[in-house]
Amino acid sequence: MAADSTLVRAPVVLTAAGRAWLEDRLSRGTARLARIDDDLAAERTEELVTERTQLKEQLDDLEVLLRDAVAPGDVIDDPSIVEIGDEVEVEFPDGDRESFLIVHPVEAGMDEHRTSSEAPLARAVLGSRPGDRVTVTSPAGVYHCTVLRRDRIG
């Protein structure tokens, strides 16, 4: 019997601010695409054709992402564990505390408070509970921290 090749992917979770930021990027990209099309009508250069092709692919990907994405509040979650869309506070052994919002990598660049779900610290705390001590493996080395709280952002 052949293996089922259907791949089920978890939905992309975007915060409301992340969705708005990406919609703005889509709008600006669409406007840039229109300007490129106007420029191509006047003069067809390899650089413009390449830029148009790349931009069109990026915009298509962004449209699919925005169409399929869900808000953190739409995800049926376990309210006791850390998941994408949660604001998390951790404490390090020296007593320093840090809070951050775990987001999909596409919206991580919005501001310094957001951390990509693929970042070492986020990967370490995902699935943990407040009170858990987690081990973070990063390019700078291995360290530990304790999850103090998690709050679901809508």
Q: Encode 24-60: b = buried (16+ Cβ within 10 Å), e = exposed.
A: eebeebeeebeebeeeeeeeeeeeeeebbeeeeeebe
CATH assignment of 73-152?
3.10.50.30
**pTM for the full predicted model:** 0.76
* pLDDT at residue 1, rounded to an integer: 45
**pLDDT higher than threshold 90 for residue 78:** no
Share of the chain above pLDDT 70, in %: 92
Domain-by-domain residue ranges, the chain?
16-68, 73-152
DSSP state of 13: B
* pLDDT tens-digit map of 132-147: 999 999 998 999 999 9
